[in-house]
């Protein structure tokens, strides 16, 4: 039998620890602790200040007076009118519904507004503020009331207004803000603008001029 010498003995160090906390017996029916749910961040409510009452739409459309007389030129950049030529539609009410005419009328109305504020030159923020002020449905409603109070529109044009007033539309943010009555009257004005654009551009310019928009194709800097 072979014996190991002292140098060949292997020393093994064992490290042990003792749990000094007494453990309770396992109870399967004991309630379990609910997991911790992180708290949601506090909700921050932003208060938007009310828009102060500014100048009326008619005052906003007024231009500085000038003694300079500008002769009207029937041609502008090679075209007879500054508006794009409308498609031929002898009876637009039989071809389109009121919503379609209001759709194109909204575009033509804003084109008048953007062109009106093009002179004198302003920064882009001022352009947007002025155009937005006159294309809002509240402004369109106020300008329409001006036409009705002065009895400027013909019977046919008033029929178009009544036709456009009955446009069915879903609830939108604009409609909720201004109210259904104001929204519908503004839509009727857009319908009239679209109708006149397709049938009688000259009458359209007369109506827009009556509202206060510039219609001269040779408009120059004041």
List, by residue number, the catalytic residues: 106
The closest of 151, 158, 130 to 214, measured between CA atoms, is 130
Give the integer Cα–Cα distance in Å for 214 and 116: 6
Q: Judge contact between 218 and 71, C-beta under 8 A.
A: yes
Give the integer Cα–Cα distance in Å for 108 and 75: 19
**120: preceding bond cis by omega (within 30 degrees):** yes
CA pseudo-torsion sign 104, 107, 113, 116: negative
* Strand ranges (E), 102-187: none
Give the integer Cα–Cα distance in Å for 52 and 69: 37
Task: Return all residues near 38 (Cβ < 8 A) that are at least 6 apart.
Answer: none
């Amino acid at each position: 039998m072979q014996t190991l010498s002292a140098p060949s003995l292997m020393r093994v160090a064992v490290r042990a620890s003792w749990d000094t906390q007494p453990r309770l017996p396992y109870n399967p029916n004991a309630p379990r602790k609910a997991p911790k749910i992180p708290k949601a961040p506090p909700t921050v409510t932003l208060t938007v200040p009310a828009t102060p009452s500014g100048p009326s739409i008619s005052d906003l459309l007024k231009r500085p007076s000038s003694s300079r007389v500008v002769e009207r030129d029937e041609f502008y950049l090679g075209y007879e009118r500054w508006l794009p030529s409308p498609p031929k539609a002898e009876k637009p009410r039989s071809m389109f519904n009121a919503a379609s005419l209001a759709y194109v009328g909204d575009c033509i109305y804003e084109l008048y507004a953007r062109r009106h504020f093009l002179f004198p030159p302003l920064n882009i923020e001022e352009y947007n503020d002025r155009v937005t002020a006159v294309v809002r449905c509240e402004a369109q409603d106020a300008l329409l009331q001006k036409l009705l109070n002065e009895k400027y529109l013909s019977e046919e044009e008033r029929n178009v207004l009544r036709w456009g007033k009955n446009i069915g539309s879903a609830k939108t943010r604009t409609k909720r803000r201004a109210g259904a009555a104001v929204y519908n009257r503004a839509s009727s004005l857009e319908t009239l603008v679209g109708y006149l654009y397709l049938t009688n551009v000259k009458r359209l310019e007369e109506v827009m001029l009556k509202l206060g928009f510039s219609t001269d194709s040779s408009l120059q800097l004041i």
